[in-house]
Amino acid sequence: MTQTILIIGGAGYIGSHVQKQFLAEGYHVIVYDNLSSGHKCNLLPGAQFIHGDILNKEQLNHAMALNIDGVVHLAAKKAVGESMSQPELYAENNITGSVNILNAMVKNEIRSIVFSSSAAVYGMPKYVPVDEMHPINPINYYGYTKCAIEQNMEWFSKLGKLNFASLRYFNAVGYAADKSIIGKEENPQNLMPIVMEAATGKRNKICVFGQDYDTPDGTCIRDYIHVSDLATAHTLAMRYLFDHHKSLTINLGTGKGVSVTELLHATERVIGKPLNYEYTQRRPGDPAVLMANAQKAHDLLGWSPQYTEIEDIIQTVWNLEI
């Protein structure tokens, strides 16, 4: 029988790619989204849509009552800087909203949740690549909210109410190669969409935050993982929950580091023209190097990223512009 997956935040950047993957694997998909940052144009043929908010318990309960087999939860605010100046927004949306989801699941006896967590739970890495045994010590409120939700899920799991898969994303980039997802984030804060805005003339320059880090070219190194590879991990994780009835927490990254300068040069090669950028001051809270050890995802889920070259990843973003 076809299984039904409720994808909360399924119209957003990562959520829409997750929606695509579940549909491709033959699931019945219901997207639940308040469209605060997601886009209606990201809803794919075959997906059912509920315009709902995770702060509205009644709406949430109503959606959970629709014979749902598993929940994917990606609905969250994610601007690190904003989380430090307005923590109350993050407490409510991320923490209260997630507790509402867990409670609605328990009420409707739904036992499987795949949760979008973040490498931000680790804070400043004590070693790289970071594995899942690395101490949890978030250095911003956004990272704390992810940590708090993981802890809640741990308790619900320990108390026999549900099983969870917490997926700690590293730097999500790229778009589906077939251009089926076209909704872009407004006012992006992350490097890749900012670089694309410069590539298309929407902004006139890119500020590179710091050139004096202890890395080969002095700029920060990150682990950029293609969003379609992230999406595949969600279906594998859901299948794991259905088959094993056991919770898991895994990193999702390529294990390969790319510096900001390398990313800019790779983009210039892809778009075939120079970018306008300048080196400015460091951004507070940026670790010099952040890379994942994703061996556990490979061992438990059989997952490994298909995109390993940064140019190929950037090409999928540029394809939307040409």
Among 86, 182, 207, 244, binds ligand UFG (CB under 6 A): 207
The answer to whether 78 contacts ligand UFG (rule: CB under 6 A) is: yes
User: Least distance to ligand UFG from the beta carbon of 243, Å?
Assistant: 29
The answer to whether 258 contacts ligand UFG (rule: CB under 6 A) is: no
Among 44, 130, 220, 271, binds ligand UFG (CB under 6 A): 220
Whole-number Å distance between alpha carbons of 136 and 144: 9
Strands 206-209 and 171-173: unpaired
User: Least distance to ligand UFG from the beta carbon of 205, Å?
Assistant: 10
The answer to whether 252 contacts ligand UFG (rule: CB under 6 A) is: no
The answer to whether 230 contacts ligand UFG (rule: CB under 6 A) is: no
Q: Which of 142, 144, 169, 240 is catalytic?
A: 142
Stated length of the chain: 322
If you search the block for the tokens 């969870």, which residue do you land on?
Answer: 164
Cα angle value 194/196/199 (rounded, 5°): 115
Q: Is 73 exposed, middle or buried (0-12, 13-18, 19+ CB in 10 A)?
A: buried
Among 194, 198, 199, 294, binds ligand UFG (CB under 6 A): 194
Residue among 111, 306, 299, 301 at smallest CA distance from 227:
306
Residue 59: half-sphere exposure toward Cβ, Cα within 13 Å: 14
The answer to whether 199 contacts ligand UFG (rule: CB under 6 A) is: no
Whether 142 is catalytic:
yes
Site for ligand UFG in 114-153 (CB under 6 A): 118-120, 143
Alpha helices in 159-309 (DSSP H): 191-199, 227-244, 260-271, 295-301
The answer to whether 211 contacts ligand UFG (rule: CB under 6 A) is: no
Question: Which chain residues interact with ligand UFG by CB under 6 A?
Answer: 78, 80, 118-120, 143, 170-171, 189-191, 194, 206-209, 220, 222, 260, 283, 286
By annotation, the residues acting in catalysis are 142
